[in-house]
Amino acid sequence: MRYPVKLKQTDEEYAVWCPYLPGCWSQGETEGEALENIKDVIESYLEYIEELNSDSELR
């Protein structure tokens, strides 16, 4: 599944976040680095949500 992200250049770096996944954000010195970083963050975020959902099913 693909998730759209927002990318913003600041004075020192690039900030990137996924509006559909609350709290899912990252940064990088370059646009490419920021986009690679957010991929990792989204993957970790989704794994964590899956883990939380599987834990609640066991109860």
39: tokens are 């991929």
- Residue 1 forms part of a structural domain: no
- Report residue 14: phi and psi, to 5°: -115, 135
- Residue 25 forms part of a structural domain: yes
Mean pLDDT of 21-47: 97
- Residue 37 forms part of a structural domain: yes
Calpha distance 38→28 (Å, rounded): 9
- Residue 33 forms part of a structural domain: yes
pTM: 0.84
Can you give the pLDDT at residue 57?
63
pLDDT range class, residue 34, cuts 50, 70, 90: very high
**Per DSSP, which regions of the chain are E strands?**
6-9, 14-17, 25-28
Can you give the pLDDT at residue 47?
96
* Domain count within the chain: 1
- Residue 48 forms part of a structural domain: yes
